[in-house]
Amino acid sequence: MSASEKELAERYGAALPMADVTLPGGELFPKRPAWVVRRRGRALQLDIMRWGFPLDVTGPRGGTTKAVTNVRNYASSFWRSALSDPAHRCLVPVTAFSEYGPGPAGGKPLYWFDVPSRPIFSFAGIWRPADNGPVFACLTTEPNSLIAPIHPKAMPVVLLEENEQRWLSASIEVALSLAVPFPGQLMEATMQP
């Protein structure tokens, strides 16, 4: 995320949080705070949430909490309540995202993906309250033609700008129809040296 909170507020026509908060720029990681855009009444609100729905995992060494960051199975009861309620959908603003992929001599270089025509674009996200404040996760889908050779498993759901408001307000059926691969020809990939 290389955009400031002011640039994000302008891009989405969203109100800034009441408190004067600045998040560190740069890469976003699970379990760390990030900007999201959500509806508050009829208006859009820029908010801060942690990335990852907490999931208690019980194992031989006792319970641990894992952060589930990606929504892959839209029919899962774990995600269904948040997906069903438009008030729990959000936009996750990004300026680029990365995936590790194949490289020379069997290495796994980092590839960065962006949308040159849109300096700030949106992942489809969902959010919910949690014990330590609100959390969010991003939807994923099949990779497009640009991402598939690098990361064949999945890609984030990047919304077309004209579909952002629909994601935040439509029925679950309409919202899930937007969870498709973003056109690869509109994106760029750069391998990090």
Instruction: Write down all domains in the chain, each with its CATH number in brackets.
Output: 5-55+64-191 (3.90.1680.10)
Cα-Cα end-to-end distance for the chain: 19
DSSP H or E run through 128? strand 121-128
For 91-128, write each residue's pLDDT tens digit. Answer: 999 999 999 887 777 678 899 999 999 999 999 999 99
Residue type, 181: P
Query: pLDDT value at position 30?
Result: 86
**C-alpha separations of 12 from 4, 5, 41, 117, 121 in Å:** 12, 11, 15, 16, 10
pLDDT band at 60 (very low <50, low <70, confident <90, very high): low
Q: What is the mean pLDDT of residues 62-73?
A: 80
Tokens of 192: 């990090």
* Residue from 92, 89, 99, 72 nearest 187 by CA: 99
Residue 70: predicted pLDDT? 94
pLDDT of residue 163 exceeding 60 = yes
CA 40 – CA 178 distance, rounded (Å): 22
